[in-house]
Amino acid sequence: MSNIDLSINFAGIKAPNPFWLASAPPTNSGYQVMKAFEAGWGGAVWKTLGVPVQNVSSRYGAINYRDTRMAGLNNIELITDRPLADNLREIEEVKKYFPNHAVIASLMVESKKEWFQIVKDVENAGADGIELNFGCPHGMCERGMGSAVGQEPEVLNTIVQWVMQAASIPVITKLTPNISDITDPALAAVRGGSSALSLINTIKSIVGIDLDTYAPYPIVDGKGTNGGYCGPAVKPIALHMLKELAGHPEIRNTPISGIGGIETWRDVVEFILLGATSVQVCTAVMHYGFGIVREMEAGLRQFMSDKGYSSIYDFAGKAVPNVVEWKHLNLHYKVVASINADKCIGCQLCHIACDDGAHQAIALPSNGSRVPEIIDENCVGCNLCSLVCPVEDCITMERRDDGSKTETWAERTVLGKIPEHFNDPRGGGVGHFVPEPSAALNYKRKDRSGRK
């Protein structure tokens, strides 16, 4: 593993590794950023600077899913409430101690004059780069900043151009996911001259309602407001948006910093595979502290060693060509579920899921055993049973086509072979087994244990 070099040059911003803290409470002060660098983080995007705000209390709400605390986190915090001068002094101090680490100043102000001023201020303090916060989906957007800019590509483009005029250090534009097509603001940023992109900021959300006061969480004196959602729950949305940018012909050459639900080395690798060349983390650090970077680094190094990579640029974006539009998937590829009886604990969750929620392709055993049986000819290969089975690798999906035939919806369309009317026999479900409706009445009377 000795030839592995984790260092990056992200649009001109150099860092010893791709692990950066996202602009958020963990980067609120020089104390925290220095502590994080000591722990192993390679960069930090400072808590967004601007005209200091007044925050409310309380500020966070969470989705606790079953045994998992903070599967999703929601916040109604604004940008920094600390004076700019204090932050600038601390940025300068951090850079003295850590000249080779990346310190990026996140900025959000309103007028052209303020943009010019604050860009110069953070440059003078020694920041290595600037991140433009066009994402905050609460509070700041009501004042015409944050996601109000991120949702208006023309306004975003104008502000990026202002900043590019003023800045002599690299500029990252941070995008809001609260938009129907992420490529619109990304293109506006790239066309405005932005050196790089980052995404995602938080998702506009309400995490729950108190059943006594009827106020949304987090509650501020009996009322609440929509917050910004982040943490493990948002990772799939972030990955999808990252892929949209990394695969776009006009955007793909612009470096992208991936953000959203990153907690483990696996998450890091997935973001890099989809085109990110640095990653940013907020919620996982708020949950577990700066120490999580040790597992991230060890895991990333092991992965790279196993695959024979010496730099993250060796595998960045390698998954992008494998994400295609649905119409380009092979319709002849066929998998069927298979249960490993030696691993099965007989919980029969797979039977319930398939019978009620899928395709009635798992029978309860008739021989006294509790191991269900797959009815091959009914199985459409949807994966549901393997996802609900609580035993790892107990249900696997086995390939049944011989790989000799490939045909996609796009190809069928060209050949005029797609269904054209409601009862067209060329629909895929023709011939699939479906029980008679009245069979449901008999099911209720069955002994679910499998005994006759």
Ligand X SMILES: Cc1cc2nc3c(=O)[nH]c(=O)nc-3n(C[C@H](O)[C@H](O)[C@H](O)COP(=O)(O)O)c2cc1C
Which of 226-234, 252-260, 301-309, 358-366 is the region at the interface with ligand SF4 (rule: CB under 6 A)? 358-366
If one asks whether residue 273 binds ligand SF4 (CB under 6 A), the answer comes out as no
* Nearest in space to 168 (alpha carbons), one of 111, 222, 214, 122: 122
Which of 22/380 has CB closer to ligand X? Answer: 22
Given ligand SF4, ligand X, none, residue 118, with its beta carbon under 5 to 8 Å by kind, binds none
Collapsing DSSP states into helix, strand and coil, what is residue 229?
strand
Task: Find residue 20's DSSP bridge partners.
Answer: 43, 280
Residue 262: which of ligand X, ligand SF4, none does it interact with, CB under 5 to 8 A by kind?
A: ligand X
| Separation in Å, CA 103 to CA 16, 23, 134, 327 | 12, 11, 19, 43
CB 202 within 8 A of CB 230: yes
Q: Does 359 bind ligand SF4 (CB under 6 A)?
A: yes
- Note whether 87 and 80 are within 8 A (CB): yes
Determine, following the binding rule CB under 6 A, whether residue 281 of this chain makes contact with ligand SF4.
no
Is residue 344 near ligand SF4 by the rule CB under 6 A?
A: yes
CB of 282 to ligand X, least distance (A): 3
Residue 364 found at the interface with ligand SF4 (CB under 6 A): no
Q: Residue 22: which residues within 8 A CB-CB, separation 6 or more?
A: 45, 259, 280, 281, 282
410 scored as a contact of ligand SF4 (CB under 6 A): no
47 contacts 23 by C-beta, under 8 angstroms? yes
Q: Which listed residue (365, 381, 409, 412) binds ligand SF4 by CB under 6 A?
A: 381
133 vs 277, beta carbon nearer ligand X:
133
153-192 residues in contact with ligand SF4 (CB under 6 A) are: none
* Site membership for ligand SF4, residue 296 (CB under 6 A): no
- The catalytic residues are 136
Q: Which is nearer to ligand X, 46 or 98 (CB)?
A: 46
Q: Say how far apart CA 71 and CA 89 lie, in whole Å.
A: 36
From 391, 418, 430, 439, residue interacting with ligand SF4 (rule: CB under 6 A): 391
Contact set with ligand X (CB under 6 A)? 22-25, 47-48, 73, 75, 77, 79, 106, 133, 135, 174, 201-202, 230-231, 234, 259-262, 281-284
Instruction: Locate 74 and state its tokens.
Output: 């929601």
With CB under 5 to 8 Å by kind, the binding choice for 261 among ligand SF4, ligand X, none is: ligand X
CB of 174 closer than 8 Å to CB of 134: yes
Q: Which does 201 bind (CB under 5 to 8 A by kind): ligand SF4, ligand X, none?
A: ligand X
| Long-range pairs for 221-226: beta carbons < 8 A, 24 or more residues apart | 224/76, 225/76, 225/138, 225/139, 226/76, 226/137, 226/138
Please report, in angstroms and rounded to a whole number, the separation of the first and last CA atoms in the chain.
59
Output 281 or 350, the one with its CB closest to ligand SF4: 350
